[in-house]
């Protein structure tokens, strides 16, 4: 019984750690998106002209807000495509429509917690070098 | 050899980054292969001191642990040096993995005790649960304190070291009729620099013969207070607040300096009278004599190029600093001798020697 309790606590803490890390990073990225000079530099770094944003969460919307004057945002991607964005903005593609429209553009993924699942969904038609975690887009070490 | 760190965003932690790279350089000399790992924006990096060897996405701690384990296996790593952050289930799993694979490891505790630095939160809770397991997997700890063992594990007692290749010795023009003191530090209350300002006021109110300046590099909470004092004491002509400087700009500041000033207000922090502040070693590496208000543990008492002043609020006797400098400079080679001391006692190469010997020992 005691061992079971320890295992449960361990699993809970492990799950919590994963959730916590991703939420913490989202806060950081929200802050980094306010650094317009850095955003400009990163757009030049990747030579981005047109992008898709994977994620209709608040980070996705903030990214859209920061980028919309700087690059051509072709749309949001959402697996099911039924998310409501409370601003008039780019179209939301479901995965099927996205695959039909996709033409080798960068896809920035804002749902960091689900990145593994998302990248596995996108891998059949999006080259890995065109798939960016929002953190990679905002800064890396070269 | 793999130097594992949990530092997130090295650009924000310049001091730590510099330190880890100094240690890495020594590991690279001692082992056929050595690299440093860290995380930035959910990407784990394998860094060889000059370039990124490899990077892999690591969305959270669990994935970082998995990336580390894969690098250790693929690169055939036999030794690790781990800069500790906090314990959690993944850290313990990593230690277990290292033990099961007979990988010799040293865990560095940059700060100990560290409980007050994390007063609450789940990370603290996790740490309290899992750090109890560390002694099952770790045989040596490296610490910057005097503890001979922590959690029952024997310790290497390190001091902060320096990468001597990055620091050039300052050659002084002793004929000039000007003496420049420099303090490179955050301006916190325990620096006690008001003692210098009061001393300079006394000095300039009596029959002074040589101009003495004081250059402060750095910022901090006391800056406003210090500036106010300087103005009140009519020292604006002699005291310069330069703000934060780094790399080339900092070296330019050092080139103008004759004496380094260490902390003079440690008496304000409980009963502290010893220390090993980074800046004092850095002055020494530059070949500068030092004025210090505490016993620096890296220098034996009576070290000729350290002027130890009382650890109390009394104003400094500036004339005695001038005399100290003049007596030292009788020896043409004094800068090189100070530098030699730094190379022999403060370089990472010397400081990390016991750790390297331990890790190298099959």
Residue B258's nearest CA partner among B223, B294, B215 is: B215
Nearest residue, CB atoms, B122 vs list A20, A28, A142: A20
Residue B180 has pLDDT above 70, yes or no: yes
Residues in Cβ contact with B211 at an 8 Å cutoff, skipping those fewer than 6 apart: B177, B178, B179, B238
Sign, Cα dihedral of B111, B114, B116, B117: positive
Q: For position A17, what pLDDT does the model report? A: 84
Average pLDDT, chain B: 92
Q: Tell me whether B86 touches chain A (CB under 8 Å).
A: no
Q: Are B335 and B296 in contact (CB under 8 A)?
A: no
Closest CA relative to residue B260, chosen from B235, B232, B287, B289: B289
pLDDT at A88: 66
Q: How confident is the model at residue B245 (pLDDT cuts 50, 70, 90)?
A: confident
Structure tokens at B44: 């784990």
Which residues fall within 8 angstroms of residue B267, CB to CB, at 6 or more apart? B192, B273, B293, B311, B312, B313
The larger pLDDT score, comparing residue B18 to residue B214, is at B214
> ipTM score here?
0.91
User: Taking an 8 Å Cβ-Cβ cutoff, which residues of chain A contact chain B?
Assistant: 9-10, 13-14, 16-18, 20-22, 25, 28-29, 112-113, 115-116, 133, 135-136, 138-142
Alpha-carbon gap, residue B264 to B248, rounded angstroms: 27
Q: Give me the pLDDT at residue A82, please.
A: 66
For testing contact with chain B, the best of A5, A13, A15, A120 (most B CBs within 10 A): A13
Task: Please determine, for residue B258, whether its predicted confidence score (pLDDT) is greater than 80.
Answer: yes
Of the residues A7, A141, A142, the best mutation for testing chain B's interface (the one with the most B CB atoms within 10 Å of its CB) is: A141
Asked if B60 and A142 come within 8 Å (Cβ–Cβ), the reply is no
The more confident residue out of B106 and B297 is B106
Q: Supply the pLDDT for residue A81.
A: 67
Phi (first) and psi of residue B111, to 5 degrees: -135, 135
Q: Number of CB pairs < 8 Å for A and B?
A: 66
Residue of A nearest to B8 (CA): A25
Position of tokens 């790399």? B247
Q: Which of residues 120-149 of B touch A (CB under 8 A)?
A: 122, 126, 129
Given a cut of 70, whether residue B119 has pLDDT beyond it is no
Per-residue pLDDT tens over the stretch B289-302:
999 998 888 899 89
The span from the first CA to the last CA of chain B, in angstroms, equals 14
Q: Which of A9, A116, A139 comes nearest B40 by C-beta?
A: A139
Residuewise pLDDT in 10s, chain A (142 residues): 567 777 788 888 888 888 888 999 999 999 999 999 999 999 999 999 999 999 998 999 999 999 999 999 999 998 876 666 665 678 899 999 999 999 999 999 999 999 999 999 999 999 999 999 999 999 998 7
What is the structure's pLDDT at B110? 86
């Amino acid at each position: 019984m005691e061992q079971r309790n320890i295992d449960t606590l361990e699993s809970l803490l492990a799950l919590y750690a994963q959730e916590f890390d991703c939420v913490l990073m989202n806060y950081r990225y929200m802050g980094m998106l306010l650094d317009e000079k850095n955003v400009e530099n990163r757009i030049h770094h990747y030579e981005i002209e047109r992008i898709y944003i994977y994620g209709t969460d608040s980070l996705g919307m903030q990214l859209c807000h920061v980028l919309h004057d700087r690059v051509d945002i072709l749309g949001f991607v959402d697996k099911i495509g039924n998310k409501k964005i409370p601003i008039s903005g780019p179209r939301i593609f479901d995965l099927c429509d996205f695959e039909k429209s996709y033409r080798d553009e960068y896809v920035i993924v804002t749902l960091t917690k689900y990145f593994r699942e998302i990248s596995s969904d996108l891998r059949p038609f999006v080259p890995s070098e065109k798939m960016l975690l929002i953190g990679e887009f905002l800064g890396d070490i070269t | 050899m793999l130097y594992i760190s949990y530092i997130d965003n090295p650009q924000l932690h310049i001091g730590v980054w510099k330190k880890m790279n100094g240690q890495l350089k020594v590991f690279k000399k001692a082992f056929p292969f050595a690299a440093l790992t860290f995380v930035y924006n959910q990407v784990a990096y394998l860094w060889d001191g000059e370039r990124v060897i490899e990077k892999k996405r690591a969305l959270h701690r669990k994935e970082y642990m998995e990336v580390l384990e894969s690098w250790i296996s693929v690169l055939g790593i036999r030794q690790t040096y781990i800069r500790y952050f906090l314990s959690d289930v993944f850290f313990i799993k990593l230690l277990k993995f290292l033990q099961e694979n007979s990988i010799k490891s040293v865990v560095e505790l940059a700060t100990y005790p560290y409980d007050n630095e994390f007063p609450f939160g789940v990370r603290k809770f996790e740490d309290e649960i899992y750090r109890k397991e560390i002694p099952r997997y770790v045989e040596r700890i490296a610490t910057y304190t005097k503890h001979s063992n922590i959690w029952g594990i024997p310790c290497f007692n390190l001091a902060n070291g320096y990468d001597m290749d990055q620091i050039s010795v300052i050659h002084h023009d002793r004929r000039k009729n000007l003496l420049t003191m420099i303090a490179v530090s955050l301006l916190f209350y325990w620096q006690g620099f008001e003692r210098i300002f009061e001393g300079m006021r006394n000095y300039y109110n009596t029959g002074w013969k040589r101009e003495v300046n004081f250059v402060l590099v750095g910022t901090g909470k006391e800056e406003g207070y210090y500036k106010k004092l300087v103005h009140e004491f009519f020292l604006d002509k002699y005291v310069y607040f330069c703000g934060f400087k780094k790399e080339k700009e900092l070296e330019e500041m050092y080139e103008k300096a004759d004496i380094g000033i260490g902390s003079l207000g440690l008496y304000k922090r409980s009963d502290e009278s010893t220390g090993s502040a980074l800046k004092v070693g850095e002055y020494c590496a530059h070949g500068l004599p030092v004025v210090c208000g505490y016993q620096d543990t890296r220098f034996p008492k009576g070290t000729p190029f350290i002027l130890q002043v009382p650890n109390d609020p009394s104003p400094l006797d500036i004339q005695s600093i001038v005399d100290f400098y003049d007596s030292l400079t009788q020896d043409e080679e004094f800068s090189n001798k100070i530098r030699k001391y730094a190379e022999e006692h403060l370089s990472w190469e010397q400081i990390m020697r016991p750790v390297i010997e331990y890790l190298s020992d099959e």
